[in-house]
Amino acid sequence: MKNFDYKVLHVCAQSGARVGEFTTPHGKIITPVFMPVGTQATVKSLTPRAVEETGAQILLSNTYHLYMRPGHKLVERAGGLHKFMGWNKPILTDSGGFQVFSLAKLNNITDDGVLFHSHLDGSKHFFTPELAMEIENALGADIIMAFDECSTYGASHEYAEKALDRTIKWLKRCYDTHSIPTQMLFPIVQGNMYEDLRLKSLQETVPFAKCGIAIGGLSVGEPKDLMYKIMDVMQPHYPQNMPRYLMGVGSADCLVEGVLRGIDMFDCVLPTRTARYGTAMTSKGKVSVRNATYKEDFTTLDPECDCYCCKNFTKSYLRHLINADEILGAELLSIHNITYLTRLTERMREAIFADRFGDFVEEFRKSPEYC
């Protein structure tokens, strides 16, 4: 693993939360870290320079969408995702499994793979673990995900176990297929909301984790208290010498609660998606600039924030942009929301180094930011 390394820099004496350093071929990542999502090789409305200025250390892109268009072979001919999208820091790609099961029109799921129709044009495709690895290898991200089946919230124990077993079978095939040393394969823990299945999945997944492990199938519609309960069950059983990645989580409260429960990496479309609808994450809680109350509010969006949006524009102007459907409104609020989450991870790292993360969590839970 000469291209990858993870070391714990400090463990909070008060809470057990940790700060780590994750080395990849495209640079080091200090954890805990939030990863903005660039689904189709772009963070919506933002240039790579604008994303970098938010403090983002790593981006996530989507295997399913890039397979559909422009095609992984084209990206490979372009020199891989880093060159194609002009981002020189680390990139993580998911396997496409979540989108295959949630977005496309499914035809059939077997142990061999998944037959589905494209959400774009209805064309028929058959995804296998081997194809997922082929696509991710061609895209060239630093960190790639194994192909998995994420059973839906509310699935029976019987079905959730079948999906878990299938995920382990697919993981073995991904592991046998993947061979590029400049890419780190993360296996994914599944098991739905069943404690016994989560522990079973962890036990069978850990042997395939070389420098990173992902937790999938959470934040998929279940109450947050239930998500935290499942995370509490898993926490004592995580490997200590590698980063743990909680997939698809991006609200401020979940980031703080996740770090408290041993998580190092997070991603979510939430900051950019809510920005497009006029919602900002701030030190005073959520602000919907669409509201009439901000029509003549000439104050900054968040007095605690130093991002380009907050240093230069008022709530009144942002409200005008959003209500006029101007692209700049989504751009400015996306800059702010991503900056807010990267600053939140910085604040958490500072509290961990100071051995007061437990106090930080208690204070944060009482703040308007906890939402």
Query: Could you give the residue numbers annotated as active site?
Result: 94, 267
Q: How far is 43 from 207, CA to CA, in rounded Å? A: 34
- Burial of 51: CB neighbours in 10 Å, binned 0-12, 13-18, 19+: buried
Which H or E run contains 109?
A: strand 105-109
Task: Enumerate residues 6+ apart whose C-beta is below 8 A from 150.
Answer: 97, 98, 101, 102, 163, 190, 216, 217, 220
Q: How far is 259 from 17, CA to CA, in rounded Å? A: 6
CA 226 from chain centre, in angstroms, equals 19
What would the two tokens of residue 313 be? 């524009």
What would the two tokens of residue 170 be? 């697919």
Phi and psi torsions of 33, nearest 5°: -140, 140
Residue type at position 150: C
Q: How far is 257 from 266, CA to CA, in rounded Å? A: 12
| CA distances in angstroms from 6 to 19, 31, 77, 284, listed in the order given | 11, 10, 31, 35
On the CB side of 258, how many CA atoms lie within 13 Å of its CA?
Answer: 30
Asked if 330 contacts 44 with a C-beta cutoff of 8 angstroms, the reply is yes
Q: How far is 19 from 33, CA to CA, in rounded Å? A: 10
On the CB side of 70, how many CA atoms lie within 13 Å of its CA?
Answer: 14
Nearest to 89 by CA among 48, 32, 50, 54: 48
